[in-house]
Each structure stands twice: as structure tokens, then as C-alpha cells.
């Protein structure tokens, strides 16, 4: 089986779908690996890095796409790339299909099977393939280090001859994978941390990391089968915002990581809340790629309102591309190994398997996911 790792279509994407270790593991399975020249440069992997692992440096992009069985990528392909792909090829990456249905439609029309990494189920068996979690983990870390860099205070308490410096107060909204890592990182840096999540089950996880859990009486809440928080009612959102306003006003750093799968991220930090915050405080919006949790956040940039710095950087895992590539490549290799046919040395798309059934959103010329079919 021929596997191609093309350069990412997004010029700002520094991650790569494979690193040398992952390429070597796939080569051992009997796959023939081709990596487009420069594909790993942003993650600290040059062409020689891949060659030493047994991978081939690809020729022209068009020719390689036309003859490749399996394409591994971080992001979505362009319409031009899709038109070059071999009918019957398999494409694996973060496809963000709810926001880019047209890309999915073109893949299906071309006869390309598309596996979307966002749809890997959050089960024990699929945990090693869960790229959403592995990338969110790093995003949580990056959010805290960004905040620490921009905050005009240090995070830990420090006793000096000139007096005692109080620790920074960090408030984290959303205690999923990214939020929990943000809590852990902020605590390691010495901050006093408070966190909030609508899911009752998250309370103990927050406390286990040494943070205080903000209690807000919202009534019936919960989580989806994918582990995401359920959307709140307008009344619940109002109650939540009142509590958020008090907590944010008391914080030096606010990190928002609240997302609902398949929908726009809820706006939690409103202009009213921002106006109540102290000048010099910092807000990092981890949900900016999905619309943002902060009202008026400027995606891809840093803005300031009433002395409050709002960081809206996209793709935080891409800011630590070497490790983000390492874990993503490992997720992909685990997925391929799980469904690798040793005799034919090909990827077997078992439609009866729960993982393939969930993640294979386009196959044999059709969009398989019912919700995405309705959107298309």
C-alpha cells in the first residue's frame, strides 16, 4: 500500500501527519511511505529525517496524489487536490465537516473514502487513536504558557526581601481535556486555580488537580455520548454568566475551553464580563477555531479591551508542532495498525467495526454520516 504525507494546504500549519518514528512503524507493516519535500519542516523534521526512517521523498504532488492509496494529513484537502486523487483512495485527517460540508461532498463525488479524526469515538479501545484529545491536551498547556507570557505578573507566590508577591489567580471555563491540562499546567506554575464546567462529573476531576470547582446551580445538565458538554438553555446561560462575571472579575487570567461537538462554541465571556475584569488581566480563548467563547474575539490575533488582553490565536497545538506531530502521528499509526491486513498489506475498512463506522464519513461515493448528509 502506498501512503502519502503531503505538505499541509494551510500555509500556517506547522504540524505534520507523520514523524520519522511513525514512518518507520508503517514501513515495518509493509507500507510504502512517500513524504512531500518540506512536509515536516515546521515540526523540526527535514527530508533527511524521513529518509533515514525508510520513507521516500515524493515527486510532484499531482502525480503522487493520482497514484496513492492512503493520504495522511492534519487538515483538509483543497478542491484541486481532491480532483487529483485516485478514485478509491482513502484520506485521513481533521476534516471539520460540519463547517466544511463542501469539501466532504467533493471527496464523496470523487469516490474517495474520508476518515475524519474528529469522529473517532471516545471509547477505551479507541483511546490510542483519539487525536482530538491528544491535540486538546497540548492546546491546554499552550494556553497557559501564552497567558503567562502576556500577564504582567508571575504565576507563583514569591517571598523576597522586598516583600511577598501574591500568586496569580487563574479561572478556567470548561474542564474537558484541554481545560484539565490548563488546570494542571497553571497549578505547576504556582497559580491559584478555579475552574467551572457544566458537567457534574467534571467536579471531581477539577478537585483532583488541586483546583477549586466553581459551583453554579444550573439544574439539569450533563454530557453527550462523545463526552462533550450539552448545550445549555438560555436561562441556564444567564445564571452561568452571572457566576462567570464574579469569577472573571477576581481573576488575573481567564482561559475558556467550552465547546459543543458539531456546533458553534457558546459565547460565555460577554462584553459585560470583560468590562468587569481588571486592567492587565489576560483572556485566552481556546475555542476560537470553533467561533470562540469570548464575545468579539478576533480570531488569529491579540486584541485589548479596557486594558484586558484577549488572545485569539488559532491552532494552539501547532505552536508546539514537534510534540503535536509526535502524538498525532502516533494516533494515526494506532488507527492504521488496528485495521491493517497483514496478508494484503492494506488498510481494511471494516464497516461493521464501531470505530470505522463512526469515523468513515464518506465512502463509495456517498456521505455516510446522517447529520452531515442533511447539511449537504
| Nearest Cα to Cα of residue 131 among 188, 96, 93 | 93
H-state helical runs in 251-316: 271-276
Residues 213 and 357 in one domain: no
285 band by pLDDT with thresholds 50, 70 and 90: very high
Residues 61 and 155 in one domain: no
pLDDT of residue 238: 79
CATH number of the domain enclosing 241:
3.40.50.720
User: Domain for residue 129, yes or no?
Assistant: no
Residues 207 and 344 in one domain: no
pLDDT of residue 220: 64
Residues 69 and 41 in one domain: yes
Residues 58 and 156 in one domain: no
pLDDT of residue 221: 56
User: Domain for residue 326, yes or no?
Assistant: no
- Domain region containing 57: 2-119+339-375
Residues 8 and 57 in one domain: yes
User: Domain for residue 327, yes or no?
Assistant: no
pLDDT of residue 262: 81
- Cβ-count burial of 238 within 10 angstroms (0-12 exposed, 13-18 middle, 19+ buried)? exposed
pLDDT of residue 226: 57
Q: What is the mean pLDDT of the chain?
A: 94
User: Domain for residue 251, yes or no?
Assistant: yes
Tens digits of residue pLDDT in 90-149:
999 999 999 999 999 999 999 999 999 999 999 999 999 999 999 999 999 999 999 999
Residues 28 and 59 in one domain: yes
Residues 155 and 194 in one domain: yes
As for how many domains the chain has, the answer is: 2
Please state, in angstroms and rounded to a whole number, the distance separating the CA atoms of residues 133 and 344: 31
Tens digits of residue pLDDT in 150-165:
999 999 999 999 999 9
- 124-128, 200-204, 241-245, 268-272 — most confident range: 124-128
Report yes or no: 81 and 65 within 8 Å, Cβ to Cβ.
yes
Residues 106 and 241 in one domain: no
- Cβ-count burial of 154 within 10 angstroms (0-12 exposed, 13-18 middle, 19+ buried)? middle
Number of other CB atoms surrounding residue 279 within 10 Å: 10
Tens digits of residue pLDDT in 326-359:
999 999 999 999 999 999 999 999 999 999 999 9
User: Domain for residue 332, yes or no?
Assistant: no
User: Domain for residue 161, yes or no?
Assistant: yes
What are the catalytic residues?
A: 122, 127, 130, 133, 228
User: Domain for residue 205, yes or no?
Assistant: yes
Residues 115 and 192 in one domain: no
Q: How is residue 226 annotated by DSSP? A: T
CA dihedral 105, 111, 117, 123 (to 10 degrees): 110
Please state, in angstroms and rounded to a whole number, the distance separating the CA atoms of residues 158 and 148: 15
Amino acid at each position: 500500500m502506498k501512503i502519502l504525507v503531503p505538505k499541509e494546504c494551510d500555509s500556517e500549519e506547522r504540524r505534520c501527519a507523520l514523524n520519522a518514528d511513525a514512518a518507520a512503524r508503517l514501513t515495518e507493516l509493509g507500507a510504502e511511505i512517500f513524504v512531500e519535500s518540506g512536509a515536516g519542516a515546521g515540526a523540526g523534521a527535514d527530508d533527511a529525517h524521513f529518509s533515514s526512517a525508510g520513507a521516500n521523498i515524493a515527486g510532484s504532488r499531482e502525480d503522487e496524489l493520482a497514484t496513492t492509496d492512503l493520504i495522511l494529513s492534519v487538515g483538509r484537502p483543497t478542491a484541486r487536490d481532491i480532483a487529483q486523487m485516485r478514485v478509491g483512495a482513502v484520506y485521513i485527517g481533521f476534516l471539520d465537516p460540519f463547517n466544511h460540508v463542501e469539501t466532504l461532498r467533493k471527496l464523496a463525488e470523487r469516490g474517495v473514502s474520508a476518515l475524519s479524526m474528529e469522529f473517532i469515538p471516545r471509547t477505551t479501545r479507541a483511546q490510542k487513536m483519539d487525536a482530538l484529545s491528544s491535540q486538546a491536551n497540548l492546546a491546554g498547556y499552550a494556553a497557559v504558557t501564552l497567558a503567562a507570557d502576556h500577564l504582567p505578573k508571575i504565576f507563583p507566590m514569591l517571598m523576597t526581601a522586598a516583600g511577598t508577591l501574591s500568586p496569580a489567580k487563574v479561572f478556567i471555563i470548561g474542564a474537558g481535556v484541554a481545560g484539565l491540562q490548563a488546570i494542571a499546567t497553571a497549578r505547576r506554575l504556582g497559580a491559584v486555580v478555579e475552574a467551572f464546567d457544566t458537567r457534574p462529573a467534571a467536579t471531581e476531576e477539577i478537585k483532583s488537580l488541586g483546583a477549586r470547582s466553581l459551583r453554579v446551580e444550573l439544574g439539569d445538565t450533563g454530557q453527550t455520548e462523545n463526552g462533550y458538554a450539552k448545550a445549555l438553555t438560555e436561562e441556564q446561560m444567564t445564571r452561568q454568566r452571572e457566576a462567570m462575571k464574579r469569577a472573571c472579575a477576581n481573576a488575573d487570567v481567564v482561559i475558556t475551553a467550552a465547546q459543543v461537538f458539531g456546533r458553534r462554541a457558546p459565547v460565555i465571556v460577554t462584553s459585560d464580563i470583560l468590562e468587569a475584569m481588571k486592567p492587565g488581566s489576560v483572556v485566552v480563548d481556546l475555542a476560537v477555531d470553533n467561533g470562540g467563547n469570548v464575545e468579539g474575539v478576533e480570531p488569529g490575533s491579540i486584541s485589548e479591551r479596557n486594558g484586558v488582553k484577549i488572545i485569539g490565536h488559532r491552532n494552539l497545538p501547532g505552536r508546539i508542532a514537534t510534540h503535536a506531530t509526535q502524538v498525532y502521528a502516533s494516533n494515526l499509526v494506532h488507527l492504521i495498525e488496528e485495521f491493517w491486513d497483514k496478508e494484503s498489506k492494506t488498510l481494511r475498512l471494516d464497516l461493521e467495526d464501531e470505530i470505522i463506522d463512526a469515523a468513515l464519513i464518506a465512502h463509495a461515493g456517498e456521505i455516510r454520516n446522517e447529520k452531515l448528509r442533511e447539511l449537504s
